[in-house]
């Protein structure tokens, strides 16, 4: 009997054509779990000696999914196994899938929808692949994004089929290729989605006639035809590129490159052995564990739906008030999902600039790297720029995105709320001001919440959905559903200054300024942060978000937490000198514009003079800048949990990864803390005791250290 008789079915559309169809009735996608692998193995064993067959076709009954790869949860179950056990696990896949390349007939993978990871390896072991001409169909090996490499034959088979250079690009990047790209690479044929099976059968017939598949089998079982000179050049150039992309923080892409280069001159069996050994070295390593945690954080977030048992209201139209960079980004996210959106501001000039910015964004074509007139015309009907309050108030959801001033925001609500529909939801994009404070004076505070987006909105997936003291469950559920509809990843946050991300970020940002005042250099501070893995340093981040914005946000945090926020002198001095950041071309760096309109940072003598006036001394040579930056962040995260701003450390970690680009290879701030251990962190804090409350271990950190607990426990 089959372990999973309902997942894999065997049919014969013609006497000599076998079709194995995958369709897990309990899941939206097909996953290669151990029971499915065993069932596949059983079917392949039964078919391998059938001399009466012309071909075998593998396909999925799910329209948007061939296979979503291996069962990641099973990976976690086995993550502490020995290297020998891991090699055995890899070889088991080689043995099962390898049968597809040895049958006495043609094997074809008919792919419609996503085909990734282990599913891509099933397909690459077949003689041929045929992909549906469908925008949702793609092929990829995303294993490097989990800190490992393909372990079921991907690194051995695909270089022999599409060439070593192409294989290195696909496997080391983990990025998908669509059907057209697969055709160009010689990876797959293309067929209409509604005639995929018929086309696969025709491909079997064609191969039976030509017997080209037999010649390819022989060629693909041997070494790759490439000279030592070409191999050396490819290794050097690809290695340099990968190193530049990963900064040495992600070992899997380089490991994939190395195993493919080493295996190029060997036969397929040796290549498979090398793959299994390389896979075992990465599996269960710190980066693999961290990236698996990020995978589970993301997977958990997809299931967030707001308060249980509450049905969200339907959002058919939206309004964004504030036509600046943030407002444009939020409105563009609506337009891209074809939600009619009104954009408002105080002047027609501001609205016009905002509308132009939105059209530029939504019409951008990635291939031509410029605007597409057809896309612009398609999206324009969904956008209405206006200064008319009645038009702005007519939407189902209104997102206020004006500047960070509580009085200005409340004055806007006072004018706007009386004109809103009886079910309309009002949201603020505030980054730091408590929602309960902003709700004062509202007649319907239950229909008001925070909806904090991150800049640039088009790239940053996070939205903080913030519950004020009187916000209703229905409002939260609706805000969560709306955020997902416009392509964002929401976390639900209780009210408090700075919420989650900015409350944790601002101590880090402020500490950078205090380090400058102590004599540390801009370069040393930014380098410590990027060396830790952040996409940019805190000084560069000040210029990116705007020093005036940071000054206002810092004021909110200082008033909320005066015992541990030490105001830096540099920030108000910079704002007074009208050095506001990239937006006006002058921040901690000067930003001259080149001929192509690009800004490049240049050190500023004026800034050095401002810093010198604020400095209290010369930096100690043995100062650990990374400790000074990241320990206050960690302590603030523990306080945030103590204050019940969020109840789960996973919300903190996902928020920081999605909101500020906290390095995924560390798994999240609290996951990283767990990898170090609370007791060790308490020891790391001791040299900084003289700096006061901001470096004082919190009760929860001390408790974790004493009991040897982890935050993820």
Residues marked active site are found at: 452
Alpha helices by DSSP H, listed for 449-546, are 473-485, 501-517, 522-532, 538-545
* Calpha distance 188→366 (Å, rounded): 24
* Calpha distance 435→73 (Å, rounded): 38
DSSP-assigned letters across all residues of 586-632:
BSSEE--B-TTS-B--EE-HHHHHHHHHH--SPPPTT--HHHHHHHH
* Calpha distance 231→265 (Å, rounded): 10
For residue 305, what is the enclosing H or E element? none
* Calpha distance 645→258 (Å, rounded): 46
Structure token digits, residue 72: 């990641």
Contact present, 53 and 47 (Cβ < 8 Å): yes
* Calpha distance 670→480 (Å, rounded): 24
Instruction: Please say whether the dihedral angle defined by the alpha carbons of residues 53, 55, 56 and 57, taken in this order, is positive or negative.
Output: negative
The conformation of residue 402, written as its DSSP 8-state character, comes to -
Alpha helices by DSSP H, listed for 303-403, are 325-336, 348-362, 373-379, 389-392
* Calpha distance 61→6 (Å, rounded): 12
Alpha helices by DSSP H, listed for 247-338, are 251-263, 268-282, 286-302, 325-336
For residue 49, what is the enclosing H or E element? none
Burial of 566 (0-12, 13-18, 19+ CB in 10 A): middle
In the block, residue with structure tokens 């720029």? 385
Q: How many Cβ atoms are within 10 Å of 63's Cβ, its own excluded?
A: 12
Alpha helices by DSSP H, listed for 59-163, are 72-77, 83-98, 118-125, 154-162
Structure token digits, residue 64: 């948007």
For residue 574, what is the enclosing H or E element? helix 570-576
DSSP-derived 3-state class of residue 418: helix
* Calpha distance 681→689 (Å, rounded): 13
* Calpha distance 570→559 (Å, rounded): 18
In the block, residue with structure tokens 């696990």? 89
């Amino acid at each position: 009997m089959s372990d999973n008789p309902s997942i894999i079915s065997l049919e014969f559309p013609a006497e000599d054509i076998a079709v194995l169809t995958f369709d897990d009735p309990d899941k939206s996608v097909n996953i290669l779990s151990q029971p499915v692998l065993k069932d596949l193995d059983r079917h392949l064993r039964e078919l391998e000696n059938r001399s009466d067959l012309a071909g075998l076709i593998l396909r999925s009954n799910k329209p948007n999914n061939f296979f979503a790869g291996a069962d990641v949860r099973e990976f976690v179950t086995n993550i502490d196994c020995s290297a020998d056990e891991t090699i055995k696990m890899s070889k088991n896949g080689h043995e099962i899938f390898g049968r597809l390349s040895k049958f006495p007939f043609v094997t074809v993978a008919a792919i419609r929808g996503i085909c990734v990871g282990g599913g891509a390896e099933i397909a690459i072991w077949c003689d041929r692949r045929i992909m549906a001409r469908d925008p949702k169909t793609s092929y990829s090996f995303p294993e490097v994004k989990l800190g490992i490499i393909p372990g079921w034959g991907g690194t051995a088979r695909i270089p022999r089929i599409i060439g070593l250079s192409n294989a290195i690009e696909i496997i080391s990047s983990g990025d998908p290729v669509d059907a057209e790209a697969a055709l160009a690479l010689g990876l797959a044929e293309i067929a209409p989605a509604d005639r995929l099976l018929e086309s696969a059968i025709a491909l079997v017939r064609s191969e039976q006639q030509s017997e080209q598949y037999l010649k390819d089998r022989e060629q693909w079982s041997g070494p790759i035809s490439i000279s030592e000179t070409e191999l050396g050049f490819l290794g050097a150039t690809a290695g340099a590129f990968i190193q530049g992309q990963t900064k040495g923080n992600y070992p899997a892409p380089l490991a994939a490159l190395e195993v493919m280069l080493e295996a190029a001159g060997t036969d397929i069996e040796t290549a498979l052995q090398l793959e299994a050994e390389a896979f075992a070295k990465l599996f269960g390593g710190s980066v693999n564990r961290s990236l698996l945690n990020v995978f589970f954080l993301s997977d958990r977030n997809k299931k967030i739906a707001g308060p249980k048992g509450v049905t969200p209201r339907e959002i058919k139209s939206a309004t964004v008030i504030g036509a600046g960079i943030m407002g444009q980004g939020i409105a563009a996210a609506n337009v891209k999902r074809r939600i009619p959106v009104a954009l408002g501001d105080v002047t027609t000039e501001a609205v016009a600039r905002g509308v132009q910015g939105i059209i530029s964004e939504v019409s951008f074509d990635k291939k031509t790297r410029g605007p597409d007139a057809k896309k612009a015309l398609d999206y324009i009907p969904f956008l209405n720029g206006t200064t008319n309050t009645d038009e702005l108030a007519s939407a189902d959801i209104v997102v206020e995105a004006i500047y960070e001033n509580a009085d200005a925001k409340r004055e806007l609500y006072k004018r706007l709320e009386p004109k809103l529909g009886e079910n309309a939801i009002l949201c603020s994009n505030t980054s730091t001001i408590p929602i309960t404070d902003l709700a004062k004076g509202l007649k319907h505070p239950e229909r008001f919440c925070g909806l904090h987006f991150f800049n640039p909105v088009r790239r940053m997936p996070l939205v903080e959905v913030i519950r004020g003291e009187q916000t209703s469950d229905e409002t939260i559920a609706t805000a969560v559903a709306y955020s997902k509809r416009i392509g964002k990843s929401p976390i639900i946050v209780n009210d408090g200054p700075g919420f989650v991300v900015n409350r944790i970020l601002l101590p880090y940002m402020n500490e950078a300024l205090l380090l400058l005042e102590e004599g540390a250099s801009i370069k040393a501070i930014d380098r410590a942060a990027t060396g830790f893995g952040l996409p940019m340093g805190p000084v560069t981040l000040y210029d990116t978000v705007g020093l005036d914005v940071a000054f206002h946000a810092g004021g909110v945090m200082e008033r909320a937490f005066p015992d541990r926020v030490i105001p830096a002198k540099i920030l108000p001095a910079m704002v007074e000198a009208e050095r506001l950041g990239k937006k006006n071309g002058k921040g901690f760096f000067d930003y001259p514009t080149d001929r192509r309109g690009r800004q490049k940072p240049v050190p500023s003598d004026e800034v050095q003079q401002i810093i010198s006036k604020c400095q209290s001394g010369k930096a100690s040579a043995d100062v650990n800048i990374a400790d000074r930056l990241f320990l206050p962040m960690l302590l603030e995260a523990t306080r945030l949990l103590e204050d019940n701003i969020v109840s789960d450390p996973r919300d903190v970690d996902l928020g920081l990864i999605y909101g500020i680009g906290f390095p995924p290879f560390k798994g999240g701030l609290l996951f990283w803390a767990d990898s170090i251990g609370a007791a060790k962190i308490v020891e790391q804090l001791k040299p900084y005791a003289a700096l006061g409350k901001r470096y004082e271990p919190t009760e929860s950190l001390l408790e974790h250290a004493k009991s040897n607990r982890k935050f993820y426990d």
